């Protein structure tokens, strides 16, 4: 299954309270439940003004559908081609 990194421009994301982050997570999960099990949210990274999300999905179109239905922007969607980590440096 292809993996994607979604860049979401959300001004002030880094200042969101735990309750706001919980609410955003719940909304995202509710939309995912409605779409079906072909798309999966793995995790996200919150920075000052962006949220970077990692998803698996059969297509970029399904990522866009989730963004449209959830109301969260998907300013850039990039398919992961390879993954590296410190163990490859051996």
DSSP β-bridge partners for residue 44 = 53
> Strand 50-56 and strand 76-79: pairing?
unpaired
The answer to whether residue 16 is domain-embedded is yes
Which residues form the domain of 54?
Answer: 3-82
User: How far does the chain reach from its first CA to its final CA, in angstroms?
Assistant: 28
The answer to whether residue 87 is domain-embedded is no
Q: What is the per-residue pLDDT across 11-64, written as a single tens digit (0 to 9) for each?
A: 999 999 999 999 999 999 999 999 999 999 999 999 999 999 999 999 999 999
The answer to whether residue 69 is domain-embedded is yes
CATH code at 45? 3.30.70.3090
Measured CA to CA, the distance from residue 32 to residue 48 in angstroms comes to 25
pLDDT, residue 64, reads: 97
pTM (whole model) above 0.85:
yes
pLDDT, residue 89, reads: 82
Q: Provide the domain count of the chain.
A: 1
The answer to whether residue 88 is domain-embedded is no
The answer to whether residue 89 is domain-embedded is no
Closest to 6 (Cα-Cα) out of 89, 75, 88: 75
């Amino acid at each position: 299954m292809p993996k994607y990194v979604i860049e979401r421009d959300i001004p002030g994301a880094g200042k969101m309270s735990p309750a706001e982050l919980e609410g955003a997570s719940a909304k995202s999960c509710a939309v995912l439940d409605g779409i079906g099990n072909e798309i999966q949210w793995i995790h996200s990274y919150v920075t000052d003004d962006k949220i970077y999300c990692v998803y698996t999905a059969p297509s970029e179109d399904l990522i866009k559908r989730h963004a449209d239905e959830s109301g969260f922007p998907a300013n850039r969607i990039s398919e992961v081609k390879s993954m590296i980590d410190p163990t490859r440096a051996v």
